Amino acid sequence: MKKILMTLVVSIVFLGLAHGASAEGQHKRLAGKDRFEVAANVAKEGWPSGANIVFLANYDAFADALSATPLAYKMNAPILLSRPTSLGDTTKNKLRELSPSKVFVVGGTASISNNVVNEVKSLGISSVERISGKDRFEVSAEIAKRMPSSSKAVVANGLNFPDALAIAPHASRNGMPILLTRDNELPAPTVSSLLNRKPSQVIVMGGTASVSNGVYADLSAYSPLRIGGSDRYEVAANIIKKLNLSTSTGFLATGQTFADALTGSVLAAKKNAPVLLTRNSSLPEATKEITGQKRMTNFVVLGGTASVSNSVVKAVAGPLAGEMIVVDPGHGGSDPGASGNGVVEKEVNLDVSKRVKGKLDSNGAYTVMTRETDTYPTLSERAALANKQGADAFISIHANAYSNSDVQGTETFYDDTYAGQLSKELATYINNELVEKLDTNDRGVKNVGFKVIKEATMPSVLVELAFITNEEDAAKLRSDYYREQAAIAISNGVLTFFR
């Protein structure tokens, strides 16, 4: 009897863990009415008890500040922002709160004037040191002089900001200076800095449009490693992949302006977190993919909703964050499935599946499709994809058919070979939602060993939306409105299941 009870307890715990593995995403937004306030709030988060040293950079000119993060991290210093000729109340008040003994001003007098330096000194901060040069390349070399020797260095395009800021947390934690280059020529200060430092390897940031093959070849003595991508968002994601960075927490910043990523980069380094970039109102596919693949659920969002919208945050830290879901549009290619009443099944399946993917992704899931075009993966290939991905759920979407055209309604199937009880639960939630949203006849949830769900080892269901062979059902399958309702229903069922 004890053995039976123990087995029962273990089974219940296992099921609880399997279903409870979902952890809704968490995020903390460090925002403000402008970039000065964002920087001040980043400093408040990372340096609540004050800071002995503070870095000051121009709020509107990224060039001088691109290389500042590694040195600021080394000195445990936040980065605050200033206008060219005046400090501004937000920054002035934050300096009072931080009460540093020294301020480093990054850039020449055109970036931050001597009037600003005098304002800083008027706060009782007597030690103000300017790090400058005749151009951004010389500034980066001057910053590198203050860094200790290191086996590696970073070379990034100095005429654009995203690549340098995306690598900044990793460079900071590993004591690497960030040296700047033109896209097709290594500037003399960068060449000189590399000759003096003699790193064993240089990490080259960006594709050939950022750092040309010619410049890459000029760095051959330093065993260069290029981290590129099709755009700034993919470059940031590839930093995580190539360098195998910790992803327990991620920082999310707009990739369209530099200020938030700059001031947040030192805090990201302190938290051993990468910086990922996004568009203001839509999450780039590369960012979505890396957060999904790494099962990232915790984020620090830099900037207000004008910089990173709430919908973007939900797409990485929503209720399905950390869940990988495979959606399978049934049939495809040479196998059209059922047809009739102006409906071809493979087309309905693909359309509804794409809508489902969009809704799951917008709630934080990482959704993988077994097909995205009119192709035909075999049933075993579909299940194998889900198994290889380590998916948390598998949903195969179909439309039904029968010789009797009077037969109509919605039914959902599961198989009990693997996660039988959880599959039944998922099927029940989805089926209930579909019947309500489509206003169809409820044909129920059934245990049938269809190959595509029988071979999938995670909670798996096969949905039959409605009958193509029934005129009333077919009208709904033809309708954009009801296809959208079907996608909402499936997404709602998945949300309920993981909650």
Which residues are known to be catalytic?
464
C-alpha dihedral, 267 to 270 to 274 to 278, nearest 10°: -10
CA 468 to the chain's CA centroid = 39
Segment (H or E) for 446:
strand 442-447
> Which residues have C-beta within 8 Å of that of residue 234, sequence separation ≥ 6?
284, 286
CA distance 484 to 283: 21
CA distance 143 to 106: 9
What 8-state DSSP symbol labels residue 474? H
Q: Which amino acid does the sequence have at 220? A: S
CA distance 266 to 72: 7
By the 10 Å C-beta count (0-12 exposed, 13-18 middle, 19+ buried), 457 is classed as middle
C-alpha dihedral, 77 to 82 to 85 to 88, nearest 10°: -110
CA distance 1 to 350: 51
Q: Which amino acid does the sequence have at 400? A: N
